Amino acid sequence: MGIHARIEPGGYVSIDTAAWLEQRTGGPIDEATADLLHWAETHPAAGAEGWILASIPRSRGWILTARAWCTQQGWELVEPDLIVHTDTRLDAEIWILRASTPTADFGRIAIVGVDHDPPVVFAESCTDSGDWFLADTVDVFCPDGHGWTWRTGDELIDATGSFTTVAAVFGTGDDAPFTLAPPCTLHHDGQLPHSCTCDRAPWIRCPTCGRRCDVELPAC
């Protein structure tokens, strides 16, 4: 079983948000977080942020406050400054506001809100800002060492770094790459009188060796 990503009983992949953040940050900055939360108590957010906040209305005030707090500190927002993940494989909704502070202060920071909790200020450790957008990417692997990187939708990258598709590797079934356990499949096809005891838990079956695959969060 993957540690930081998992195949859920409903036949979908879920990524641990805390582990995903840990890959991209150098840990929380308690001093900055405390200052932001204290500043928010006396500086209510106001104004409009635009369409990107429409999907997270309960977080709108925090995002506006975080942006205003950075401006008040004289810190420069960096592009892309605001990143929002709502309908992804992450197991929480999340927004990230990125800024650059003097090195003598904190250097590059990422203010992060998870679900509707108050935000936390993190030291940013990403060397590639594009890593913040990879909220769906997982590695699919089997015990015999066969593997693919599944980015989103039907897009796969094989072991050679070449782009391919879920359909090309795992077939064109409605639930691909997921399938039933082999005994359940045989039962479904009328070749066994009883299904197994897996309670129809979804599998990703390796097309090379037939063994059960798992998923994990790739190295960042």
- What backbone phi and psi angles, to 5 degrees, belong to 175? -105, 5
Average pLDDT, the chain: 86
- Token pair 């405390």 in the structure block, residue: 34
Copy the structure tokens of residue 46.
Answer: 């106001």
pLDDT band at 189; cut points 50, 70, 90: low
- Look at residue 125 in the predicted model and tell me its pLDDT: 95
Distances (CA, A) of 39 to 158, 168, 177: 48, 53, 48
* pLDDT computed for residue 219 by the predictor: 87
Could you give phi then psi for residue 93, rounded to 5 degrees? -80, 145
Count how many residues are written for the chain: 220
What does the buried/exposed string (b/e) look like for 29-59 if buried means 16 or more CB atoms within 10 Å of the residue's CB?
Answer: beebbeebbeebeeeebeeeeeeebeebeeb
Q: How confident is the model at residue 188 (pLDDT cuts 50, 70, 90)?
A: low
Output the CA torsion 114→117→123→126 (10° steps): 10
Work out whether strand 147-150 and strand 138-141 pair parallel, antiparallel, or are unpaired: antiparallel
Q: Is the torsion defined by CA of 79, 84, 90, 91 positive or negative?
A: positive
Is residue 147 a contact partner of residue 218, using CB atoms and an 8 Å limit?
no
List pLDDT tens digits, range 56-111: 555 778 898 899 999 999 999 999 999 999 999 999 999 999 999 998 899 999 99
For residue 139, list its beta bridge partners: 149, 216
pLDDT one-digit tens code per residue, 16-40: 999 999 999 999 999 999 999 999 8
Coil, helix or strand at residue 106: coil
Residue type, 68: A
Phi, psi of 85 (to 5 degrees): -120, 115
Q: State the distance between the two ends of the chain, measured CA to CA, in whole angstroms.
A: 20
pLDDT tens digits, one per residue of 105-136:
999 999 999 998 999 999 999 889 999 999 99
